[in-house]
Amino acid sequence: MTGGAVPVSSPQALLAVLLQLEQRARACASEDELTFFLVNDAYALVPYRQAVLWQAQSGGGRIVALSGLAVPDAHAPFNVWLANLLAQHAASTSIAGEFPIPAEADDAGMWAEHLPAHAWWVPLPSVGAGLLLLREEPWQQGEGSAGLRGQLHLLELFADACAHAWGALRKPRAPWSFAGAVAYVRHYGRTRRFQCIAAVVVLLLLCLPVRQSVLAPAEVVARNPVAVRAPLPGVVDRIAVTPNQVVKAGDLLVVLDARELEGRLETARQGLAVAEAELRQGQQQALFDERSKASVALLQGRRDQAFMEVDHLSQSLERSQVRAERAGTVVLDEAGDWIGRPVALGERIMQIADPQEIELEVLLPVADAIDLPQDASLRMFLNTAPATPLAATLLRVGYRASPTSDGTLAYRVRARFAAGDTARLGLKGTAKLYGHRTVLLAYLLRRPLAHARVWLGF
């Protein structure tokens, strides 16, 4: 990787080349253009095979430019290794001179594999950088020691000129300070004109029309779910489905502990068998004994009662296995929490919902409640995708506030999603509800005025 210029040897020609290079360096319009020019066109003063421009930064430094390469990769392993090596050398010396070959085996092997044997270091302290020139010939012989020293001196002058141009290209940023801003306001704020202008601007800003909005927690819920309730009191023995499982009508959902029912059913069946035997015996005796005919009706009633008890217990045993009434998705928090749990008659265990029929349920706190117009717009920011809000339209607002899980009172707001927007059941997030338009002053003072009315009583 060498520069495109041809080196010259006479002192007059070298001075002319130096002046031309300095002029071109100061004509560079950007830092990238200047660094590329430095590592490539320095060849006109001193011949080399490779040139590396290093710049200090936190963590050691980085390779800014390489000769023959437009944009070096600062994160390449070789560039990172070379940057750390140059940072160590820059920390140990601040004068130009021959760069020492690393003594450690790993660094020496890396150097011998990728770089020439001889290197010359030119520091640029004004910009916190350094230029490394590499070639196969030694730097103390070849062109003649006197001529080479002159060339290296001109090289240092050229590098210093490039550093000066580099510093000029860096745009200085005036440090902002709070004290300076306060001083500026105090200086100009004393004039009545400035105060009037500031007051007018503030009044205009406070009269800007804004749309009222409020944030509230929200959840994606089913529109018309089917509640799966306990058909009889008992203990849950097994949950046959998993949360979010798709089921069909008639699929087994819940199994209640039926051991007590089975025992009662067996006892009832035995009682039915005894009642039937007594009825047959009574009917046979009635054929020969007129007095036994009166007891036949009583035995018939006992047998019917035992039969009805067996039928009732059989139906209860069938109801201990709860099945789905419709197809849909199982809405259930955790199946393991229900195992061994006693349930009362009619207690809801899970829900079966259609994943395509969804709504948005918003819990609007009483303290943040605003007047929502009919068909007000909402935006739902899901926790799983906060950067892609879903649009919705208000359906209804609860008549009265109800307690929530965290103990606060909130109005239950239902909204339908816009066409094309959909989400999975159970997803939660934050909903933004939009109300009527008002001025900015009323929007900012809504909460303070509400608290003031409570304390002042008007």
CATH number for 161: 3.30.450.40
Establish if 382 belongs to a structural domain: yes
Establish if 213 belongs to a structural domain: no
Looking at the structure, do residues 316 and 424 belong to the same domain, yes or no?
A: no
Give me the residue label for tokens 């900015």. Answer: 440
Sheet holding 226-229, edge to edge: 226-229, 348-353, 328-331, 246-247
The torsion region of residue 128 among left (phi > 0), alpha (psi -120 to 50) and beta comes to: left
The pLDDT assigned to 144 comes to: 46
Looking at the structure, do residues 41 and 140 belong to the same domain, yes or no?
A: yes
Mean pLDDT of 275-279: 86
Looking at the structure, do residues 48 and 129 belong to the same domain, yes or no?
A: yes
Indicate the pLDDT class of residue 95, thresholds 50, 70 and 90: confident
Q: How far is CA 52 from CA 3, 82, 98, 141, 274, in A?
A: 12, 9, 14, 22, 108
Looking at the structure, do residues 163 and 197 belong to the same domain, yes or no?
A: no
Distance from C-alpha of 408 to C-alpha of 134, rounded to nearest angstrom: 74
Establish if 272 belongs to a structural domain: yes
- CA-CA-CA-CA torsion sign (234, 238, 240, 245): positive
Indicate the pLDDT class of residue 3, thresholds 50, 70 and 90: very low
Cβ 223 vs Cβ 329: under 8 Å: no
Supply the Cα-derived Rg of the chain in whole angstroms: 45
What element of type H or E holds 326?
none
372, exposed or middle or buried, with CB in 10 Å at 0-12, 13-18, 19+? Answer: buried
Domain final position from 350, 374, 408: 350
Looking at the structure, do residues 82 and 105 belong to the same domain, yes or no?
A: yes
Mean pLDDT of 364-391: 89
Q: How far is CA 328 from CA 180, 225, 238, 251, in A?
A: 66, 9, 20, 11
Establish if 2 belongs to a structural domain: no
User: What token pair was written down for 322?
Assistant: 């709860």
Number of compact structural domains in the chain: 4
Domain final position from 297, 320, 350: 350
**Residue 8 pLDDT exceeds 70:** no
**Residue 7 pLDDT exceeds 60:** no
Looking at the structure, do residues 135 and 85 belong to the same domain, yes or no?
A: yes
Looking at the structure, do residues 21 and 156 belong to the same domain, yes or no?
A: yes
Q: What percent of the chain has pLDDT over 90?
A: 11
User: What token pair was written down for 162?
Assistant: 């490039």
59, exposed or middle or buried, with CB in 10 Å at 0-12, 13-18, 19+? Answer: exposed
**Residue 434 pLDDT exceeds 70:** yes
What CATH number does residue 437 fall under? Answer: 2.40.30.170
Establish if 216 belongs to a structural domain: no
Establish if 217 belongs to a structural domain: no
Could you tell me where the DSSP H helices lie in 135-242? 145-169, 178-189, 192-206
**If DSSP codes are grouped into helix, strand and coil, which group holds residue 391?**
strand
Find the domain containing 162 and state its range.
11-169
User: What token pair was written down for 250?
Assistant: 């008639």
For the chain, the straight-line distance linking the first and the last C-alpha, in angstroms and rounded, comes to 85
Mean pLDDT of 275-285: 84
| Per-residue model confidence as pLDDT tens digits over 220-273 | 988 888 889 998 898 999 998 988 888 999 899 999 988 888 888 888 889 889
Looking at the structure, do residues 145 and 35 belong to the same domain, yes or no?
A: yes
Establish if 45 belongs to a structural domain: yes
What is the value of pTM for the model shown? 0.47
Looking at the structure, do residues 323 and 376 belong to the same domain, yes or no?
A: no
- CA-CA-CA-CA torsion sign (285, 286, 289, 294): positive
The pLDDT assigned to 188 comes to: 65
Looking at the structure, do residues 378 and 309 belong to the same domain, yes or no?
A: no
Distance from C-alpha of 208 to C-alpha of 224, rounded to nearest angstrom: 43
Mean pLDDT of the residues in the chain: 84
| Per-residue model confidence as pLDDT tens digits over 50-88 | 899 988 887 778 888 888 888 888 888 888 888 888 888
User: What token pair was written down for 375?
Assistant: 């068909």
Looking at the structure, do residues 346 and 363 belong to the same domain, yes or no?
A: no
Mean pLDDT of 172-186: 64
- CA-CA-CA-CA torsion sign (242, 243, 249, 250): positive
Looking at the structure, do residues 425 and 361 belong to the same domain, yes or no?
A: yes
Closest CA to 416 of 434, 398, 393, 397: 393
